[in-house]
Structure 1
Amino acid sequence: MRRSEFTALADHVFGPVLAAAYARELVIPALGGRSAAQAIAEGEDVRRAWTALCDAMDVPESRRWEIPPGQRHAR
């Protein structure tokens, strides 16, 4: 998983403003008491950081891994 995929999924699941805040501010015990952004910056696997964020926010498995085609942003 690339950082860009993390960002796209987080934006889809939480909305862009909350996604940025959660990634930057939410301290996640499964990531050693770091935020997802901090963990990634320190070399943590991006997929592990995404899974830990989803677990911490109780995101159902069905919403974690795919953005429906009609809701994808053109890049």
Structure 2
Amino acid sequence: MRLTDFWNRMYRHFGEAYAESWAKDYVLAGLGGRTVEQALAEGLSAKQVWQAVCQEVEVEPRLR
């Protein structure tokens, strides 16, 4: 998964205004206690991060 695809899915699920804030502030257990931004900055793939987001919140099947 490309990073642009990841962010498009985030925007579609959370809305453009909330997606970046959620990625910056919400700590996910599935990312080892990191936020989305921290995980991406530390080199986790966009696919791994998206899978952790999907485990944390209910995402529409078409976006999974």
The normalised TM-score by structure 2 is 0.87
Percent identity of paired positions between Structure 1 and Structure 2: 34
**How far 1:31 moved relative to its partner?**
0.4
Normalized per residue, which structure has more strand? Answer: 2
Identify the structure with bigger relative contact order (alpha carbons < 8 Å, sequence gap 6+): 2
Query: Please, which runs of 5 or more residues in structure 2 have no aligned partner?
Result: none
The normalised TM-score by structure 1 is 0.76
Normalized per residue, which structure has more helix? Answer: 2
Amino acid at match of 1:15: G
Q: How many residues align?
A: 64
Provide the secondary structure at the position in 1 that maps to 2:52. Answer: helix
Structure 1 moving runs of 4+ over 3 Å: none
Provide the aligned C-alpha RMSD in A. Answer: 1.2
Query: Please, which runs of 5 or more residues in structure 1 have no aligned partner?
Result: 66-75
